[in-house]
Amino acid sequence: MVKIADRYFKTDPWNIIEEGFNPQYGRVAESVFSLGNEYMGVRGFFEEDYSGDTLLGSYFNGIYERRKLPRSAYKGITDSIEFMVNSVNWLYTRIIADDEILDLNVCDFSNFIRKLNLKNGVLTRSFIWHTKNGKKLKLTFERFLAMKNVHIGAQKISVKPLNFSGSIKVILGLDFSIKHYAYDDNFWECQNKIFEDSYLSITGTVKGTKQQVFSSCYITGDFSGQKDLTEKEKIVAKEFVLQLSKGNEATLTRLVINHVCSNPDDKNAQELFKALCNSSKTELMNLNYSDLKLENFLWWDKVWESSDIVIKGDELNQQGIRYCIFQMFQTYHGARKGTNIGAKGLTGEAYNGNAFWDTEVYCLPFFIFNDIEAAKNLLLFRYYTLPEAKKRAESLDCKGAFYPIATISGRECCDLWQHASLQLQASTGVAYGIWFYEKMSNDKAFLFDYGLEMLAEICRMLATRGAWTENRTKYGYYCVMGPDEFQMMVNHNFYTNYMARFTFNYTLDVLDMLKKNDEKQYTEFIAKMNLSEEELNEWKEMADKMYIPYDEETGLYEQHDGYFKLPHVDIHSIPVEDFPLYHNWSYDRIYRNDMIKQPDVLMLMLMFNNCFSEKEIKTNYEYYEPRCIHESSLSPSVHSILASQLKKHDEAYEFFKFATRMDLDNYNRNTNEGLHTTSIAAAWMNIVYGFGGMRSDGDILSFAPSIPEKWSGYSFRVTYFDTVIHVEVEKNTVSFRAINGKPVKIKVYDEIVEVSKDPETFDIPQQWRG
């Protein structure tokens, strides 16, 4: 696994710093300096005009366009895709001095520095502009997105003339004319352009989906005059004159309120949208930049109080893991019910902004132990989109619900049938997520009111998608693709069959639980779902007789029926220049051997770790790890976590080395397209589940910490039933204490203890010391 860092940013425990601007890293920096608050996100592009290479990206969660695909002659093939559409640039800025427009691609400048403060979410950029007429101006740009009222964005521009007094012009506006980079097209129609005093607003409508985005701003500052600029169809802007005095700083602040209407067919949603738009000016005039900034500081303080990870003796990974935590909270924190997490968050257009099946497997654990309400909201997205999953099942000749592999609205957006039609793990991943959330929250109301309906519909799909063997002794799934996407149209994939068995059994357990808890609600649910005793018995029989491919002689779980007989490829003999394989090997060649893209058997052994002995995990790890090519950025973390468990400490650290800095150091050379959001979540898992040895699938939360040899110590925090547990690992000892909340019981190296505000300290067993 050859991955090489392309280090560009300065190392700092709480800041991402760019000293000097290198255009070759322009788009990488735009991704890294992205800001988001779940509702909206902006890449770290320059506010002012920039004629160089840039991806000027502004996105809203759940706002998308739809494109029709050529109609297939075959049933069940996706006929359209959806993509998160590039939206309004609410930071639109132009600065003019003596008829020279500021553009860092052509203008002379010095002392460039850009800094993202992870403690408070503020992005600043400053430099000295040397104009053609010999004037020097120090410019400082500051921006942030409100984390509490997620409709609000803020910008501050400061200008200090260093060697002159005189006037400059600053144009501030709201711009819907941006082209969507991936399609080189603009997808907006604009209405309701308003210019009033220092207030601007405009409404954009997506041409196809008819979803709407309303953007408004109110500008204050040291300007002596202004005028409206009305000539452009999709832009509203004002020109401000700043009278500058040598050595004195002049400022402009812009407060922004954005609203979306994601369901244009809902009359109530439309009425609410209109009311919010109409009240925006009054709301903006009552806001204060400094107050909003302070409110954000306090919000982030609370985050770091309960979620910080400290690493001693490793500055790179200290910066890296804090950046990961920061981006996870920027991407999602439960601000809106029924939204999801795209593969790139709100930082770029790759993967069309779609959410994938790994949301429940990789992202959900982070939120369960850092923001349980956000975890619940993620699952509510699956409930709200259940009707679409049922339509998808019907198109695939199944009953129940077949959840999409890639989606924004709940519709299947993957145009590759071998993924969209063969991968069942999105559906079983939803079942896993419901189980995991309820287990860690004891939220029976969610389970019975929302979760159980999803579980029942998933079971119906599983009962109609699978089949019995000829002699009806075993049940399983044929012509599927498991998590390892290098194996297609396989039979009895271990992960798929195991997860189906789990889903059947868990659903039946929940039904029994509901019956004991509230027989009236149980009876009403059975009637609502038209569930018969015969159907429930069928699920039980399918679970009991599920085929799990296993070789008793070797102790290996076979990834799928026939996998052991596939031609072997020594992955280390593949030339480096062949990577990525999707670009350099013919598509069918990838599927003709035993090479693994990402963990399949091992993924499940992590998810249900307590169901397998350490011997079984070791046997399967040592067989499958040498066959894994790690073509997915999610892959190394799973291997690192299991390697830690198996006391393969050097190997664990080797896999971990680039986990926290996947994007900061551009390991995959594609950070320019946006951040690897699910990989960022996996980096958190790598430390907490890996080195921290946490396991959450057993009867009680357990820990078996180890420590990498290169670290002198580390600590992390997890929230468990409303108690924040602080875990402090030193070279020879580990201590646990409750920062707040009630005492809770956990397991530490197989010993059950109660964690309270008084630290409990344990010696780290010799075999756990890296």
Chain-centroid distance, C-alpha 562: 35
Task: Say if CB 421 and CB 415 are below 8 A apart.
Answer: no
Chain-centroid distance, C-alpha 119: 20
Residue 522: beta bridge partners?
none
Task: Say if CB 734 and CB 761 are below 8 A apart.
Answer: yes
Task: Say if CB 701 and CB 644 are below 8 A apart.
Answer: no
Peptide bond into 743 cis (omega under 30): no
Q: What is the DSSP string of 219-269?
A: EEES-SEEEEE---TTEEEEEEEEEE-TT--EEEEEEEEEEEES-TT-HHH
The catalytic position among 485, 558, 625, 631 is 485
CB atoms within 10 A of CB 384: 16
3-class DSSP string for 562-598 = CHHHCCCCCHHHCCHHHCCHHHHCCHHHHHCCCCECC
455 HSE (CA, 13 A, CB side): 29
Structure tokens at 663: 């994007």
Which are the contacts of 228, defined by CB distance < 8 A and separation ≥ 6? 195, 237, 238
Enter the DSSP assignment of 460: H
- Torsion angle of the four alpha carbons 181, 187, 193, 199, in this order, in degrees rounded to the nearest 10: -30
Q: Is 485 a known active-site residue?
A: yes
The amino acid present at 26, given as its one-letter code, is G
**Selection from 512, 523, 484 nearest residue 601 by Cα:** 484
d(CA 679, CA 632): 9
Structure tokens at 451: 């979760």
- Which residues are known catalytic residues? 485
